[in-house]
Every structure is written in C-alpha cells, then in structure tokens.
Structure 1
Amino acid sequence: MGSRLFDAQEVIVRREILDGREWMVYPVRVVEDTGDLLAVHLAQGTPLTFGPGPFRWGPHPWTAFDPYWQSEGVLQLQRPGDGYSVWARHSGGEFTGWYVNFQEPMRRTERGFDTLDQELDLLLPADGSPYRWKDEDHFAERHRSGGFTDEEGAAGRAAAASVVELVERGAGWWEEWRGWRAPEGWQVPEAVPLGA
C-alpha cells in the first residue's frame, strides 16, 4: 500500500497524523514524483480540514484562522527518509527564500502522504543573508513537556543539523527548484473530508 508514484498534476492528500488520527488534512497538486523526490504545490486558498480531537497537543494552531491557506502558493519538496521538507516562498510573485519545515519523514499512502509537523523551522532568505531559526522555543517546550519523546526530539535535532550542514556547504539539493512557478490555470483543489 502506498507504493505507487503519483502522476504530475494529480491532486493528492497531505495529512498530519497526531495520536494516530488526522490532525490536519489538505489537498496538494503533484508537480513531480520520481520516487526519490515528491514535489507538490499548495495553492493559495486551499481549504484546510482539521480533526475534531481531543489531541494531546490540543487543537491545531491554525484553527484560529479562516480554514484556508492564506499565503501565496508554495512548492513543497520532500524526499523519503528526510525529517524535513523544503518550501519555496514568494511574496508579490517574487521568490523570497526557502522555508525548511522539520517534520516526520513522509509515509506514502494510496491517497498521498502522511507526516507530522515538529514545530521547528529554518528560514533561508533568497538574498543569501544568514539563515535563521523559527519556533525553536516551541520545539524545546514541546520536548520539555513530553509532547515529543526523547527519541523524537533527537530525530528533530539530527534533521536540523543535517540541513545546516548542507546549507553551510552550499549543497542545498532544493536549489534547482528556485525558478519553478505554478502554471497558470491550475485550479485550487476542493476540500478533503476527514477519513476520505
């Protein structure tokens, strides 16, 4: 199950799984799937669906906002086994940099893939200025309070160290995607019901 490659332009489902249940679910459109890399696009205005809980982490923090992806569309790049994905960010149509989202390694399903955001993020500005961390305090607090096991915390830190090593060597494998833009005419996918 979950071993097939997805077709370009196919709409698949990205699920965050917490406590064995869907915490947040949304559709993405496949840009490319080679087996070694899954590139998907999250369109502005994409509907987000949240699980009803209760969850050990509480409700998803985005439930405080309108349930749609508010920012410009993002390209999300993930490779099997990596504890992170790399997102291309834009503002006013201009590339502003990379956003490294530390998360559980993706697990393919027949409908798409599952993961779980682990709070920690790394911002890589387009102008080459120094990288900066985001949500380090949330990651540390989640670990301190038992939201992450010691093993999960260590995995997150190891993934972060591996990305920093790539960045400092100038070996970001994601750079070849810098100029990618979503084709005109790609529609915003419809909402995904829980458990569908």
Structure 2
Amino acid sequence: MGSLRPGGTAVRRDVYRDKVWSAHALRVVEDGTEALVLAGRPGAEMLAPTTWIEWLLTGDETARARAMPNLADGNWRLDPWSWRNTAHLQWVPPELWFSVHAFYDPSDGHRLAHWYVNFQQPMRRTAIGFDTFDLLLDLVIDPDLSQWRWKDEDEYAHGRRLGVVSEADHRAVERARDEATAMIEERTGPFAAAADWRDWRSEPHWPAPSLPTGTLTVGLP
C-alpha cells in the first residue's frame, strides 16, 4: 500500500476471466495502510457494458437482463460512458471482500445521500490502479447509519446459478456480510469517521479523471 499519489488518477477495473467488464477513472484521496480512498465525480470517464448503458438511457429492464448471460458467456461489448449525478468516496481495503462508498448529491449542497457496501473480490494492484470483480450483492445504508437494506439479492442468486459467482466467492461473501454489518454497528473502518465523511467535498481544482491509454490491456493476458 501507499504507492498512489493523492490527486492522481487510479482506474478501478472489474475483470472477469481476464477480460475487462468495466473501468472507472477515480481520483486518489489517500493510499494508506488501512485502505485506498478514492473520489469520483460527475464527468469521470468510464467504459461500461453496452447493455448497462442502454438500461440507464432507456430504463428498459430487458437490456439489464441481458447483461448477466452475456457476462457468463464472455460475450459483451464496452462503450465509453461518464459518471453522472453523484459525487462519491470509495474506501477499498486491501484484503476484504467489500468496499464502502459514500454518495453525495452535488445539486443539494453536496448532501450525503447514502452509504453503500459493494461486495467484490479483494483488490489486485495494477500499474494504473486496481482490479476487482463486482459480486452483484450490495448493502444500502442510511446517512446516519441507523438502518440498512440488502440490494440485488435476486441478481446475486442469478449470478450464482450462471456460475458468475463461484462457490468460493459465495462463501467469502457470506463471511463478508457479517464483517460489513459489524463494521456499521461498531462504527469501525470508514464509519468511525462518519462525521468527517459527511462533510467531505471534492477538491474544486481537480478535473474529472480520464482513463489512460492501455485501460483494456495493462496487466492482462
């Protein structure tokens, strides 16, 4: 840890079977021993599956439904996209099977809208940032940490049936569920600094980050 410079760009890639499923350019806030902390903002460059973009633009649930079989078959196409509507912080520890995100509404005084736990494979450092793989299950948490709800459990179950989420992944996620909820209840990890995170603002002089050359190939076979 500690190899990325604050203010620099780090690319989070979701990689499945040595192929990029998505890529997101983020700004480095801190690269510490506990976690890598990253910032996202509207305008940040991304590469995303065409089915996901179609669903976002049209609301057509059939487009989203095609994404999982495409992923299982290794048959997908990526198109350029940019992050929209929210700013966010990501807390990505080096060994845990989840990351913690805080989402803010720039149109409403940068209000903290909610927290989000994203279950994913542990990060693997790359020359441009880090790789992981989103394991489909999420936990949405109220801004004051008083309540939370599970999200996309049906999609997670479908991913298991198709083999996108392996049995080893599933066992790790089951353990990670308990770790994440304990972190909320005990106010540890990023939740220990919840008051500071509620007051966070993105640095106004930082431009929206861009994806570097080699985003689809660096470190992959």
Identify the TM-score tier after normalising by the shorter chain: 0.7 to 0.9
CA RMSD, Structure 1 to Structure 2 (Å): 2.4
- Give the corresponding residue for 2:162: 145
- Which amino acid counterpart does residue 91 of structure 2 have in structure 1? L
CA deviation map 1:103-140 (0-9, x unaligned) = 11111112111101111111111134421111111111
Q: CA deviation at 1:4?
A: 5.9
| Contact kept in structure 2, 1:5 and 1:35, CA below 8 Å | no
Q: 3-state DSSP class of the match of 1:56?
A: helix
Identity of aligned residues (%): 30
Equivalent pairs counted in the alignment come to 190
CA–CA distance in structure 2, aligned partners of residues 77 and 123 of structure 1:
15
User: Does residue 1:96 correspond to 2:113, yes or no?
Assistant: yes
Query: Pick from 66, 69, 86: which aligns with 2:100?
Result: 86
User: Does residue 1:194 correspond to 2:216, yes or no?
Assistant: yes
CA–CA distance in structure 2, aligned partners of residues 161 and 143 of structure 1:
19
CA–CA distance in structure 1, aligned partners of residues 167 and 18 of structure 2:
19
CA–CA distance in structure 2, aligned partners of residues 71 and 102 of structure 1:
22
CA–CA distance in structure 2, aligned partners of residues 83 and 132 of structure 1:
18
- Deviation beyond 3 Å, 4+ runs, structure 1: 57-60
Structure 2, unpaired ranges of 5+: 51-69
CA deviation map 1:136-194 (0-9, x unaligned) = 111112112322221111111211121112223x3232121522221112101123442
TM-score scaled by structure 1?
Answer: 0.86
Q: 3-state DSSP class of the match of 1:164?
A: helix
Query: Pick from 9, 21, 30: which aligns with 1:11?
Result: 9
Structure 1, unpaired ranges of 5+: none
Where do 1:1-196 residues align within 5 Å?
Answer: 5-50=3-48, 55-56=71-72, 58-59=75-76, 67-91=81-105, 92=108, 93-168=110-185, 170-175=186-191, 176=193, 177-178=196-197, 179-192=199-212, 193-195=215-217
As a proportion of its length, which structure holds more helix? 2
